[in-house]
Every structure is written in structure tokens, then in C-alpha cells.
Amino acid sequence: MSSNKKNPEALSSIIGADAVLEGSFTLDGSLRVDGTFNGILICGGAVSIGKHGRVTGDIEADEVILGGRVSGTVIARRRVVLEGSSMLEGDLATGSLLVSEGAVFNGTSTMGDEAVERLRKQRRENRGTPEISSRITLAEDDGEKKRSGNAG
């Protein structure tokens, strides 16, 4: 592996125990949450939520390891691990799910690549960030109106 390539497995950011963050957070690497995060979290690697970590909102990642609490939607392409101290309330889509004794999960779960993409697309549409294909369709529709003389 070249030293210039980013390693999505490498921990690249930490939200510390005394931190409270709100908004959108996107990163290529992996993230550990020991504090509180409210919003949209999109991660190219793994998201690890410590025993005292709290997330309210959407999480999209390659892998999610949950030891704390999440209230919202979790989308993990590869897998989700719910540790014994975890609590997840919301929708979940993943390739693989491991639930440890003591974990609490209240919500719906779907599995497989199609389920992951379906929930991912649904969440992005609900947030008002449609997929690129939707934008292309709108542009094509506009172009057809102009070609037919109905531009308005």
C-alpha cells in the first residue's frame, strides 16, 4: 500500500467526552465518538461510539461499532456491531449485524447491499439532498421543454 493513500481504517478524528457538536460532519477516515453529536455523520471508514457517546441523527459509514446511544438512522455498508452497553432507536440497514447480549435495539432493520442503498437514498431525499440522478432527470425534463418549444 502506498503511503500516499488514505487508510479508511485509521482513526482520523475523535469527538471527546466533553464535546458537543451539531451539524454535518464528513470524513474519509474513521471516527470515535465519546461525546455528543447531533446531526448528519458521513464517514468513509468506521464510526465507533464509546460507552458514553451519544448520537442523534443519521450515520452513514462503512462500519458502525456502537457502545453508547444512537437515536436516528444507521447505514453501514459492511457491518454494525451493537455492544452490550448500546442502545439504538431507529432504522438500520447494513451488510452484517452483530448484537451482543444486553444491547437494546428498538426500530427496523434491513440487510444487504440493496437495503443499504435504498435507505441511504431515502434518507438523503428526506434531508433535501437528492441523488445526482434526480438532478439529471430534472435537467433533461427542462431540455425537452425547450426542444418542444414549451420552455417556460
Q: Is the pLDDT of residue 103 over 50?
A: yes
- Prediction pTM value: 0.78
Supply 18's cell numbers: 466533553
d(CA 141, CA 145) in angstroms, rounded, equals: 6
Total residue length of the chain: 152
Domain definitions of the chain by residue range: 11-112
pLDDT band at 97; cut points 50, 70, 90: very high
